Structure 1
Amino acid sequence: MEKSSIVRPLILISFIIGISLLHYLTPLHLPYLHAIFQRFYYLPIILAALWYGFRGGLLCSLIVSVAYAPHLLFQWGGCLTMEMEKYLEILLYNTVGGVTGLLSQRERERTVELQRTARGLEESYQKLQYQSERIIVIEEQLRRAEKLSTLGEMAAVLAHEIRNPLGSIRGTAEILKDDYNPGDPKHEFIEIQIKETERLNRVVEDFLHMARPQPADLRPCPVQDELETIVTLVANDARDRQIKLVLQPPPFPVIIRADGEKLRQAFLNIIINALQATPPSGSVIISTTIYQAALCEIRFRDSGPGIDAETLGRIFEPFFTTKPDGTGLGLAITRKIIESHGGTMMVESESGHGTTVTVRLPMQDEAGGGAL
C-alpha cells in the first residue's frame, strides 16, 4: 500500500476533528471566531476534491456537514430564522465539494489522456527513428552493393588476365631458384619474387571473394560448435603469441541457420585480427549471449591497443589496411558474409582500451523453419 493512501485520509480526518473541536470548545459569545472556524471546513473539502475527485469531495463535504450539524442544533438552539446563514453554509459545503471534485476529476482525466497521447507520440517517434536508421543502413548497403557490382564486373576480367600470368611467373621463379644456392643474392631475390607473387595472388583471391556473389547453403548451425572449431585451429598461434584465448560458454545452446563454412571463415578473420592486434600476455575473449530474444550476439574482445576514431571509420573500406602485408579486404569480406546471413557486424574501440567486435545473427525459431 502506498504511503499517500494512508497519509491523505489522516490529514483530512485531522482537519475535520480539529476544526470541529474549535467550534465545540469555543464559547458562543465569540461569534466572530465561529464564523472563521466554519470557513476552515473548506480546507479539507477542497483537498479531498483535489485528491479524490467528485466522490471524494462530496463525501468529505457530507462528513463535514454531519460534524457541524450538532453544533448548530444543540449549541445555537436550532433557531432557523436567526441561523439561516449557518444552515446555508452546510449547503455551500456540499456544493463546493461536488463542483470542485467534478472539475478536479475532469482535469485528472484530461491529464491522463494527454499522458497517453504523449506516450503514443513518443512510441511513434521511436518507430520513425528506428525506420530512419534502417533506411540509412539500407541505403549504405545499396551503395556497397553497387560498388560490389562494379567490382564483380572488373573481377571477371582481372581473374583471367592476372591469375594465369601470376602462375607462370611463380613457376618460372621456382625453377630459377634451384640454380642458385641458399645465401646467394640471386636466390634471395627469387624468394622475394615468389613471396610477392603469392601475396598478389592472395589479393586477387580476396578480391574475387568479396566481389562475386556468394551462394549460401543455410542449415541449422550450432554457434558454439563453430566457435570451438575455430578456437582449436588458432590455439597454437595464440600460444606462440603468448595470448590467452578464452571461449566462454553460452547460457544455453544457440542454433542459427547459416552456411557453416562461410561462418567459420568470418569468425576466423575476426579472431586472427584480434590475435594480431593483441600484445603478448594479453587476452582475446569470445562470448555468446541473446540480444532482444531473437538475435544471437557473439562478442570478440581483445586487450590490444585499440583503434583511433579516424581508422575506425574506414576499417570496412575495401583495400584499406594498417598492416604492412594486409590486403584490406578481410573485414569487408567478413561483413559481407555476416550480412548475407541477415546479421550485423559492429566494431567498438578506443585507443588504449582494446577492441570489441560484435556480430548479431538471427536465431532459428523453435519449429526449425527459419530465423526468428
Structure 2
Amino acid sequence: MQIQKLSITAFRPIILACFLVCISLLHYLTPLHLPYLHDIFQRLYYLPIILAALWFGLRGGLICSILVSIAYAPHLLFQWGGHLTLEMEKYLEIMLYNIVGGVTGLLSQRERERTVELQKTARGLEESYQKLQNQSERIIIIEEQLRRAEKLSTLGEMAAVLAHEIRNPLGSIRGTAEILKDDYKPGDPKQEFIDIQIKETERLNRVVEDFLHMARPQPADMQLCPIQEELETIVALLSNDARGRQISLVLKPASAPVIISADGEKLRQAFLNIIINSLQATPPGGSVTITTTPYEAGSCEICFRDSGPGIDAETMDRIFEPFFTTKPDGTGLGLAITKKIIESHGGTMQVESEVGHGTIVNVILPMQNASDGGLR
C-alpha cells in the first residue's frame, strides 16, 4: 500500500507537465481567428495549477502558476501582438494564475498540516486508551490477587483450628477402626465397612493436609535447581502410572541447561500435580508432552501439553479456586497449591485449553546463572 502510494506521487509531476504541454500546444497551434477557443484554453491552465496546489501545497501551486505564466506569455506577446489596451484581461489572467496557485496552495498546505495534527492527536488518544486498558487489566489482576490473598488469610486463620479439631479425632477414629477390623474375618461385610471407614479417614486427613499447605506458607529452602533433572525424576516416578493408563509420557530434552533458584521439594510437588492432572485428563492412547525452553531474557518456560478433551470456558474461570474440583475424589486444592508454589518462586502459571483440543499448562520461572553459586 505504501509503495503504491509512493509510485502515484512520483507520477504527479509528469501528469502536471503533460497538462501544461498539451494546453500550451493547443494555444500555439490554434488559429487566432478562433478567439473563443483560446479563451477556453487559457481557462484550462487552472486545472494543473489547482492540482499542483492540492498535491504539493503552496510551493507546488506557485511553481506551477509561474511555469504556466512563462508558457502563456510568448503566445500573448508574439501571437497576439502585445496590444496592452486590447488584451488587458489576458495579462490580468496571468496575475490570476499566480493568485489562484498561491491561495489554493496555502489552503491545501494548511489543511494537510491540520490533518497531520489530527492524526497525531488520534495516535495520542489511541496510545492513551491502550495505556488505560492495560492499567485496567492490571487493576483487575491486582484485585483478583487481593481477593485470593484475602481467601488465603481466612484459610490461614482457620487452619490451626481445623488441624487441632479434625486431625486428632481422625487419628482416634482410624486407630479404633483398625482395632475393630481385627475382630472380623476377611470377607465379613462388617470388615468391608471398616475398610471404607479407614479409607474415608485417610481421604479426610489428606484434605486437611492440603488445606494446611494451602493456608500456611511453609519456609522455603532455596537452592540452585536444574529443572531438567527434576522433570526427569518426576517422569521416571510416573512412567508406570502412564503405561498403566496407556498414555505416552514424553519429556523432550532442553536446548540448553536450565537452572533456577528454587525449593526443589515444593517445585517437584507443583510439577507432580500438573503432570498427574494431565494424565488423569488424557484418555488411553493419548499423550502428555513436557518441553523446557530457556529465553535470553533470563526466564524459562516449562510447557505441559496433553491430548485430553480440554476444559470448557466456565470451568477455566474457576480452576484455581480453592475447593473447586470436577473429580469425584478430588479436594479442589491441587492447582491452587501449585499456582501458589509457582508464584512464590517469582513465576507465573497459565492454562490454555479448548474443548476437544487438549490442554496446555505454561509455567514461566526466572532462571539463575550457573556462576551465581553451586548446586548444594
Q: Aligned pair in 2 of structure 1 residues 163, 102: CA closer, same or farther (>3 Å)?
A: same
* TM superposition shift of 1:226: 4.3
Unmatched runs of 5 consecutive residues or more in structure 2: none
Would the aligned equivalents of 2:159 and 2:212 in 1 still touch at CA under 8 Å?
yes
* TM superposition shift of 1:244: 2.5
Q: Secondary structure at the match of 2:327?
A: coil
1:105 pairs with 79, 85, 109, which one? 109
Partner of 1:321: 325
Q: Secondary structure at the match of 1:300?
A: strand
Q: Which amino acid aligns with 2:41?
A: F
Is 1:28 equivalent to 2:32 in the alignment?
A: yes
* TM superposition shift of 1:240: 2.4
Stretch moving more, 141-150 or 302-311: 302-311
Q: Aligned pair in 2 of structure 1 residues 54, 274: CA closer, same or farther (>3 Å)?
A: same
What's the TM-score, normalizing by structure 1?
A: 0.87
Map 1:74-85 onto structure 2 (within 5 A).
74-85=78-89
2:21 pairs with 17, 22, 30, which one? 17
Q: Secondary structure at the match of 2:140?
A: helix
Partner of 1:267: 271
Q: Aligned pair in 2 of structure 1 residues 70, 254: CA closer, same or farther (>3 Å)?
A: farther
1:38 pairs with 38, 42, 48, which one? 42
1: distance between equivalents of 2:178 and 2:106?
Answer: 99
Q: Secondary structure at the match of 2:361?
A: strand
Partner of 1:68: 72
Map 1:206-285 onto structure 2 (within 5 A).
206-217=210-221, 223-248=227-252, 258-285=262-289
Q: Aligned pair in 2 of structure 1 residues 163, 54: CA closer, same or farther (>3 Å)?
A: same
Q: Aligned pair in 2 of structure 1 residues 85, 351: CA closer, same or farther (>3 Å)?
A: same
Is 1:301 equivalent to 2:305 in the alignment?
A: yes
Q: Secondary structure at the match of 1:3?
A: helix
1: distance between equivalents of 2:153 and 2:177?
Answer: 35
1: distance between equivalents of 2:309 and 2:23?
Answer: 75
2: distance between equivalents of 1:292 and 1:47?
Answer: 54
Unmatched runs of 5 consecutive residues or more in structure 1: none
1: distance between equivalents of 2:255 and 2:41?
Answer: 69
Would the aligned equivalents of 2:298 and 2:367 in 1 still touch at CA under 8 Å?
yes
What's the TM-score, normalizing by structure 2?
A: 0.86
* TM superposition shift of 1:60: 1.6
Q: Which amino acid aligns with 1:35?
A: D
Q: Deviations over 1:174-221 (max 9, x none)?
A: 455455554343443333233222211110110001111244455665
2: distance between equivalents of 1:73 and 1:290?
Answer: 82
Q: Deviations over 1:9-66 (max 9, x none)?
A: 2211111111111111111111111111111111111111111111122122222222
Q: Deviations over 1:67-120 (max 9, x none)?
A: 222222222222233222222222222222122112211111111111111111
Percent identity between matched residues is 82
Would the aligned equivalents of 2:259 and 2:370 in 1 still touch at CA under 8 Å?
no
Give me the CA root mean square deviation.
3.0
Partner of 1:332: 336
Q: Secondary structure at the match of 2:352?
A: strand
2: distance between equivalents of 1:223 and 1:70?
Answer: 88
Q: Secondary structure at the match of 1:325?
A: coil
Q: Secondary structure at the match of 1:307?
A: coil
Q: Aligned pair in 2 of structure 1 residues 138, 176: CA closer, same or farther (>3 Å)?
A: same
* TM superposition shift of 1:252: 5.8
Q: Secondary structure at the match of 2:330?
A: coil
